[in-house]
Amino acid sequence: MKLTKEEFEEMLQEVIVESGFTTGFRVKDILPYIFGIPITAFMIKQRFGPKTIPNDLFIPAITSATVFLLAKLHKI
């Protein structure tokens, strides 16, 4: 079965509306956490122990931990 352009657009709109992408409220709620927590942790690390953990490991680890926590709390 081949989809027409109109059928595809209709299906795509249904997916977007049902998933909540149109509101954008979730993105506004999540972005401060995804960027704010790693930046804050980085600043604290730089203040108290800049040489303890390399930044190449620290920043991705904190970001991953933040995303993991948001997923566990069903925020994303």
The pLDDT assigned to 1 comes to 66
Enter the pTM of the model.
0.60
Alpha-carbon distance of 63 to 73, in angstroms, equals: 15
Q: Following CA atoms 24, 62, 56, 31 in sequence, which dihedral angle do they give, to the nearest 10 degrees?
A: 10
The pLDDT assigned to 50 comes to 86
Answer for the pair 6, 46: CB distance below 8 angstroms, yes or no.
no
21-69 per-position pLDDT tens digit: 555 556 677 778 888 888 999 999 999 888 888 989 998 999 999 989 8
